[in-house]
Amino acid sequence: TKRWNIQNDESYNKQSIAEAATLIKEGNTVAFPTETVYGLGADATNEAAVAEIFKAKGRPQDNPLIAHVATVEQLRRLVDNLPTYAEKLIDAFTPGPLTFVLPSNGACAENVTAGLSTVGVRIPDHPVAQQLLQLADIPVAAPSANLSGKPSPTNAEHVWEDLQGKIAGLIDGGPTGVGLESTVIDCTQDIPIILRPGGVTKQQLEAVVGTVMIDPGLANEKEKPKSPGMKYKHYSPEVPLLLVAGTAARMQATIDEQQIKGNRVGVLASEQIARQLHRVEIRNLGANLHEIASNLYDGLRAFKQGDADVIICEAFSEEGIGQAVMNRLKKAASEIIR
């Protein structure tokens, strides 16, 4: 795996990103930073190249990938039909952490869409991703650059840990910003439907297009999610995670209980709660929901087997970006303590 560090030097950056774009054009896989999480990219029109992504990640074959492009014009070249509301969403939120599920025109390889009639397309808002996509000048299929089942990578070390030796290249562009994946929105019905909550909130979307639905499969255990990826085990830390709703006192009681059992405990909490806890190793995720979103996956990866037996994590507010934070935490949790 070739690794480029492009955090500081502008001239070196261009050279590195050009090399990475060439690798992708030649049918190889390259991990790169976006504003949400790192992606593992390959030529979306090359079936064999896309197959390498599935192989490196150990990803189930029926889980479709997002095609990344630099411009709206390139997005149009992948889809059949754009409803008026989708045009409005494109105007308002691209480039940005929003993925549009639209009727596919067949331009992407069949394994990108996992045989579905729709394709997910995103225009990322990150200078490195933008430059890479412009230089490659092809749609780039890119799931999050983690091993399937693990938390998504929010820095190059996370990618290295999971995929070193399994991919052709890694562009280290430093930590990502948003820290959670894009919002996936189905734009094939009369009303847009959120398939995965993410970087753009429901309130932000509704401010532009009015009513937005949430896939009932996300909240209801009995209903199957519309997005194939949402049914898999996800974001799993190395040790079990207990998600604790309520106050600092409730968290402290859970910590004490675990320690009495002889378990080594690691805590993930907001700054406000962290300050009130005692006698335990704590990762402070930040003072507000945006900071918490940005630090969450690094926190989930921080407590390794051997260092901790259990993670105790605060249940956060589901307002705004909190909806995406809690969606991920509920999937990561082995138990929710209310």
> Is 270 annotated as a binding-site member?
no
One of 184, 292, 293, 325 touching ligand TXA (CB under 6 A): 184
3-state secondary structure of 55: helix
Rule CB under 6 A: say whether 267 interacts with ligand TXA.
no
Q: Which of 97, 99, 104, 68 is nearest to 86 (CA)?
A: 99
Choosing among Mg ion, ligand TXA, none, which partner's interface includes residue 252 (Cβ < 5 to 8 Å by kind)? none
Q: Smaller CB distance to ligand TXA: residue 104 or 284? A: 104
One of 1, 5, 71, 118 touching ligand TXA (CB under 6 A): 118
Task: Please give the full DSSP string across 153-167, using - where no structure is assigned.
Answer: PSSHHHHHHHHTTTS
Q: Tell me phi and psi for residue 184, to 5 degrees.
A: -100, 125
User: Is the Cα dihedral 188, 129, 291, 238 positive or negative?
Assistant: positive
Task: State in angstroms the smallest separation of the CB of 60 from ligand TXA.
Answer: 10
Rule CB under 6 A: say whether 66 interacts with ligand TXA.
yes
> Is 38 annotated as a binding-site member?
no
For residues 313 and 299, what is the distance between their CA atoms, to the nearest angstrom? 10
Residue span binding Mg ion (CB under 5 A) among the ranges 13-21, 49-57, 136-144, 206-214: 136-144
Binding mask 219-238 for ligand TXA (x = CB under 6 A): --------xxxx--------
Q: Smaller CB distance to ligand TXA: residue 246 or 320? A: 320
Task: Please give the full DSSP string across 265-284, using - where no structure is assigned.
Answer: EEEEEEHHHHTT--SSEEEE
Cβ–Cβ under 8 Å, residues 274 and 314: no
One of 13, 29, 182, 284 touching ligand TXA (CB under 6 A): 182
Tell me the C-alpha to C-alpha distance, in Å, between residue 72 and each of 75, 80, 100, 175.
5, 14, 11, 26
3-state secondary structure of 39: strand
320, 178, 137, 14: CA torsion to nearest 10: 160
Q: Which of residues 128-167 bind ligand TXA (CB under 6 A)?
A: 142-144
Cβ–Cβ under 8 Å, residues 150 and 235: yes
Q: Which of residues 144-163 bind Mg ion (CB under 5 A)?
A: 144
Q: What are the residues binding ligand TXA (CB under 6 A)?
A: 34, 36-37, 39, 63-66, 97, 99, 101, 113, 116, 118-120, 122, 124, 142-144, 181-182, 184, 195-196, 227-230
- Which amino acids are annotated as binding site, given as ranges? 36, 59, 63, 68, 118, 122, 142, 144, 152, 182, 196, 235
- Which amino acids are annotated as binding site for ATP, given as ranges? 59, 63, 118, 144, 152, 196, 235
Q: What are the residues binding Mg ion (CB under 5 A)?
A: 144
